[in-house]
Amino acid sequence: MGTLLLKGLRKEYGTAVAVQQVDMEVGQGELVSLLGPSGCGKTTTLRMVAGFIEPTKGTVVIGGRDVTRTPPYARQTGMVFQSYALFPHMSVAGNVGFGLEMRKVGRAERDSRVAEALDLVRLGHLADRLPRQLSGGQQQRVALARALVVNPAVLLLDEPLSNLDAKLRAEVRDEIRSLQQRLGLTTLMVTHDQEEALTMSDRLVVMEGGRVRQIGTAEDLYEDPADTFVADFVGRCNLVPGTIEGDALRSGGGDLLPCDVRGATGDATVLALRPERIALRPGPDGTGLPARLSNILYLGAQTEYRLELGGTTLTAIRPTPARTDPLHELRPGDTVRVSWDRVAGRLLPV
Amino acid sequence: MTATRLAFRGAVVFTYLLMLVPVAMVMLISLFNDEIVSFPPSGFTLHWYMNAWARSEFATGFVISAQVALMATVIGVPLGTAAALALARSSIPAKGAIGTLLLGPLAVPGVVAGTALYLFYLTIENGLDQDVVGTMPGLVGAHILLTIPWTVRVVTASVQGLDLVVEEAAANLGARPWTVFRRVTLPMLRPGIVAACMFSFIQSFENLELTLLLVGPGKTTLPVAMLNYLEFRMDPTLAAVATIQILIVAALMVITDRFVKLSRVV
């Protein structure tokens, strides 16, 4: 029964606090990602779960068992390291079979389980090769097979896609996710790449400066960010500081922007508005706020519009207009009218 | 070819010549017919090799040197490897000083170390009422002073090249610390350890200055036997003995290179 529970996990190095406090859980068969920039404490947290770092405070519970003081070799976790960490002096089969050897699995059973695991990652034909004879992508699949073959209670992935070139990434991403779901493996993943996290995870834990900023599904984090860090880190977001005036926000630049004032605490706040929520209408007249187009970026399927409203800059992203669409004729310097649903304008604490 | 490249090539060739010509000369001289070495030689012969073989002090010396070198290597390499691992990985407060101390014998001139060791052995002899100078234990003990520093030096480079992550992976898969050492660390250190064995053996076998004062009747190493021979004669027999040594060392290096790419370790 593989579930993971972290309670009050904290790590201090002298006076420096690498991880302030992590409380979270990963349910059976769930893939949860720790997402955040470098230095946010996500890798330290993962290593505390693996047992390589001893927490200063707090507990790690795997499958109902408190393993906080248990050494790594007794924890029932399977880890895939960022650099794969394959044993250079052993063949692919030797690498994959190592965990089974440690568990005193007999030769015959070991061979068949290794073959099974290699088939799962489609490397059966390379069983006798040495790691240095494999490509990066192949090495990673060996590392994955090696962790999977021991049926770990919790699978730990440390930046699994970061060493792969862009083309391979999407492919491997889908492979890992489908394998994980097929085997029902409880998984904790660390990444700094939000696309990776958003597409693979059941839930995400956004971390920054050693603290957990928000935990939720991709939709939770995108639609209801808890603070400006999450809003900015997960996807793109217009963030406009200002004060509340009636049912709108008076921006620092002096513009009055419609927003959802419910749930606003205090006068000083930040408006968070996703770029794709802003609607544009050409021409100086019409409903909405007037804005001057300072830049247009053609991105293929989408087009990015840089808008200057009085004293505030906003970025809008729209599907690229067809040639018959009047929006297609917009050029930098033109005046347009912008508007958005009031509820799309969320207010976040400063 | 540009002038710089030519000059560079020339320098490389010159360096090779500088190193190889003396060796080649010795091997050549061992075949000269004349008892007093002269150019050009009057003829070539294998007579000196026969002579070397016949003289018991060279045969004994060879055996003693080999035995001492073997024992000094077998004792020194494990100790040196353990030391290298400890120095690279632990946080013992004095580890910088300990490291310097372990490499110390390499910096001390052989004769100085030999003399100091001789006096030390005499003191032990007085205290324990046991012979030390001129015994195998005495010789082996002195040569361990050569094998340990060489091993520490060579293996340290290997240890520093090890990625700890691989050992973490082994632990994660269920290996206890001793198993990690046995199944992962040691195999990954193999090139360094093999090279350390080779260097240690050769350094011990060929050593003269450290050994000079510590030999005794019946317990003389080959280099010392050769020096003694020189006192009375200077014929190509020595060149023959030297050539045999050169060939053995060369063979050792070639064999080692089959197991471990020497260029990667040294």
Nearest chain B Cα to A100, which residue? B173
Q: pTM of the predicted model, to two decimals?
A: 0.82
Ranges of residues in chain A with a pLDDT under 70 are 1, 263-266
Q: For residue B122, is it within any domain?
A: yes
Nearest chain B Cα to A86, which residue? B166
Domain coverage including residue B146:
31-265
Contact by Cβ (8 Å): A154, A187: yes
Q: Do A102 and B179 touch (CB under 8 A)?
A: yes
Residues 6+ apart with CB under 8 A from B194: B256, B259, B260
- Extended strands (E) in chain A: 4-13, 16-26, 31-35, 57-62, 65-66, 77-80, 154-158, 186-191, 203-208, 211-216, 238-245, 248-251, 256-258, 268-273, 279-282, 289-298, 302-309, 312-319, 335-339, 346-348
**How many angstroms separate the CA atoms of A151 and A153, rounded?**
7
Contact by Cβ (8 Å): A64, A28: no
What pLDDT score was predicted for residue B75?
A: 96
Domain A237-348: CATH superfamily is Nucleic acid-binding proteins (2.40.50.140)
Q: For residue B42, is it within any domain?
A: yes
Q: Do A78 and B173 touch (CB under 8 A)?
A: yes
Residue in B158, B163, B172 to test binding to A, most A beta-carbons within 10 Å: B172
Contact by Cβ (8 Å): A76, A156: no
Structural domain tally of chain B? 1
- Collapsing DSSP to helix, strand or coil, B246 comes out as helix
Peptide bond into A349 cis (omega under 30): no
**How many angstroms separate the CA atoms of B49 and B249, rounded?**
18
Q: What is the CATH number of the domain that holds B138?
A: 1.10.3720.10
So where are chain A's domains?
4-223, 237-348
Q: Do B171 and A73 touch (CB under 8 A)?
A: yes
Q: Which of residues 105-164 of B touch A (CB under 8 A)?
A: 163
Contact by Cβ (8 Å): A305, A313: no
Convert the pLDDT of each residue in A38-54 to its tens digit: 889 999 999 999 999 99
What angle, 0 to 180 degrees and rounded to 10, lies between the N-to-C axes of helices B95-107 and B56-89?
A: 160
Contact by Cβ (8 Å): A163, A82: yes
What pLDDT score was predicted for residue A111?
A: 93
On the CB side of A67, CA atoms within 13 Å amount to: 27
What pLDDT score was predicted for residue A67?
A: 93
φ, ψ at A338 (rounded to 5°)? -115, 150
Name the helix (H) or strand (E) containing A75.
Answer: none
Contact by Cβ (8 Å): B223, B186: no
Q: Which of A323, A219, A325 is nearest to A274 (CA)?
A: A219
**Tokens of residue B79, six digits:** 């100790």
Mean pLDDT by 10 residues, chain B (266 residues): 87 92 88 78 82 84 92 95 91 88 89 91 88 86 93 90 92 94 93 90 90 85 88 84 88 82 66
Q: For residue B219, is it within any domain?
A: yes
Q: Which of A7, A152, A148 is nearest to A74 (CA)?
A: A152
What pLDDT score was predicted for residue A316?
A: 94
The closest CB to that of A50, out of B172, B176, B188, belongs to B172
CATH number of A4-223: 3.40.50.300
